[in-house]
Amino acid sequence: MGSDIVEVDLRVTKDGTVVLMHDHSPLLDEMSFEQLNQLENRMKINPAYEFHTIATLDEILEKARTHGIKLNLDIKTEATIQPTIRSIQRSEAEDLVFITGCSNGITDSYSGIKVLYNTPEDLTEDEEREYASWSRAISESAHAGGYFGLNMDYKTCRREVVEEAHALGLAVWVYTVDDEEAICNMNEIGVDEITTNEVTLLKQLRAQRG
């Protein structure tokens, strides 16, 4: 569909295999990947798995390399962090990936991997009132922590935070923006990446901007 970056949600099985899966299933904690990927088990997670197997991160990294695709790895649990890092290193895919979601400790130990700082989904009354100060503080915190940029709920993203982040060399990503007016607003204030389910609409609006 022409996406700049493809987002995938990651969880880990009992034996440490990182798989693409949005929602939690108790079977992840009970089964190895080989067990989980058996037809009768994977269909307990989602009937759609009748027609395809569960994808692993190793497989997706290989395909991303082959097709020149960048990936946003949305790590869903703390337990998935280290297995994800091992998979990235095993595939030498540091240049292909960005990490969002759970990311505690990654920037401290793995400087070659681009990690985005997850800002709060909701702002307090004080943060709303003192938005400029909050923008400066959150940007400085991300910069000091070695993050690549900010990963924000678009409803909390305004021009002030984009300018503060860019001044420190940080990128600003927003999610999940499916409304035309909101997409136009995010483009107008200068965010770097927009996560959307409406990829065609996003491309059309960007083309109109030139």
Same domain, 162 and 200: yes
The number of domains in the chain is 2
Same domain, 72 and 140: no
Local confidence band at 110 (pLDDT 50, 70, 90 cut-offs): very high
Asked, for residue 18, whether it belongs to a domain, the answer is: yes
Say what percent of the chain tops pLDDT 90.
95
Same domain, 91 and 127: no
Give the domain-ending residue among 46, 69, 98.
98
Local confidence band at 90 (pLDDT 50, 70, 90 cut-offs): very high
pLDDT at 111 over 90: no
Asked, for residue 200, whether it belongs to a domain, the answer is: yes
Instruction: Report, in angstroms and rounded to the nearest whole number, the Rg of the chain calculated over CA atoms.
Output: 18
pLDDT digits (tens, 9 = 90+) for 123-168: 999 999 999 999 999 999 999 999 999 999 999 999 999 999 999 9
By residue range, what is the domain housing residue 54? 1-98
Q: Which residues pair with 193 in a beta bridge?
A: 173
Residue 124 belongs to domain with CATH number: 3.20.20.190
Asked, for residue 113, whether it belongs to a domain, the answer is: no
pLDDT digits (tens, 9 = 90+) for 170-204: 999 999 999 999 999 999 999 999 999 999 999 99
Local confidence band at 3 (pLDDT 50, 70, 90 cut-offs): low
Same domain, 147 and 82: no
Residue 113: other Cβ atoms inside 10 A: 21
Same domain, 131 and 206: yes
pLDDT at 2 over 80: no
5-12 and 18-20: which strand pairing? antiparallel
Same domain, 162 and 89: no
Asked, for residue 181, whether it belongs to a domain, the answer is: yes
Same domain, 87 and 127: no
- CB-based burial, 32-52: b 16+ in 10 Å, e otherwise: ebeebbeeebbeebeeebeee
pTM of the model: 0.93
Asked, for residue 109, whether it belongs to a domain, the answer is: no
Asked, for residue 144, whether it belongs to a domain, the answer is: yes
Same domain, 94 and 125: no
Same domain, 29 and 89: yes
Q: What is the 3-state secondary structure (H, E, C) of 128-175?
A: HHCHHHHHHHHHHHHHHCCCCEEEEEHHHCCHHHHHHHHHCCCEEEEE
Local confidence band at 87 (pLDDT 50, 70, 90 cut-offs): very high
Same domain, 62 and 131: no
Instruction: Read off the pLDDT of each residue in 42-66 and give the average, rounded to a whole number.
Output: 97
pLDDT at 1 over 60: no
**Average pLDDT over all residues of the chain:** 96
Same domain, 132 and 192: yes
Give the domain-ending residue among 98, 127, 144.
98
Local confidence band at 4 (pLDDT 50, 70, 90 cut-offs): confident
Asked, for residue 110, whether it belongs to a domain, the answer is: no
Same domain, 143 and 207: yes
